[in-house]
Amino acid sequence: MEHLNYIMEITPYILEGAVFSIQIYVVTMLFAIPLGMLCALGKLVHFKPLRWLLEAYTWVFRGTPLLLQLFFVYYGLPFVPVIGVEFSREMAAFVTFILNYGAYFTEIFRAGIQSIDKGQYEAAKALGMSYPRTMCSIIIPQAIKVIVPPLGNEAVTLIKDTALCSVIAIPEMLKNAKAVVARDAAVSGYIIAAVAYLAMTFVIINIFKYIEKRLSYYDK
């Protein structure tokens, strides 16, 4: 009974951190998905300087750890000559996560778009459709089915990666759990955090399963 009371006492404090985890998750998905789509389309154009710039962007953000990017944006960016931008902890997390996941989404969208048969483009051209209309009306709707599974994997990874925000002293769920464990020398805080992460990933996985099921009409 005493242990149950202890669990009831520490759970609200730990779950307070889940609010920020969910907040950064929603903000990242809302901005990184459009960013990824625009960058993917940019990598498919014939303007080489733009393609090179986008290749560099995806290479840097996919090739370096998210943890290092968080450190650089929050601690290092203020000291960069000319730029010298200083963000709050929360804004640094938002910017870093959006740019990082935008790079991954770029490659997911690019691969999905390029998986569509070239005949679709030729048929649209024969019908007199412009390139933007072809992409919006024919190519992207078909590519979405290919995109959803890897997008779902990244969505699950994202909710877990929010725990990295603790390194810049943001009171997210893992940081609160660590504080409880350090104070009370008991692992209950970690267990509560683990259950909360499992619950959130369970919801995300089932949302994407539902989306995949709704898109299964392409197989019919």
The parent domain of residue 63 ranges over 2-219
Q: Which of 39-48, 81-90, 93-102, 198-207 has the lowest mean pLDDT?
A: 81-90
Q: Is the pLDDT of residue 112 over 70?
A: yes
The answer to whether 169 and 137 are in contact (CB under 8 A) is: no
Q: Report which of residues 166 and 218 the model is more confident about.
A: 166
CATH label of the domain that carries residue 198? 1.10.3720.10
pLDDT in tens, 118-156: 777 777 777 778 777 787 777 888 888 889 989 999 999
The amino acid occupying position 120 is Q
pTM, entire model: 0.89
In the chain, the number of structural domains is: 1
Give the pLDDT of residue 40: 93
Q: Quick one: average pLDDT of 157-175? A: 90
DSSP string spanning 14-78? HHHHHHHHHHHHHHHHHHHHHHHHHHHHHTTSS-HHHHHHHHHHHHHHHHS-HHHHHHIIIIIGG
pLDDT tier, 2 (very low <50, low <70, confident <90, very high otherwise): low
Q: Which are the contacts of 121, defined by CB distance < 8 A and separation ≥ 6?
A: 134, 139
pLDDT in tens, 53-70: 999 999 999 999 999 999
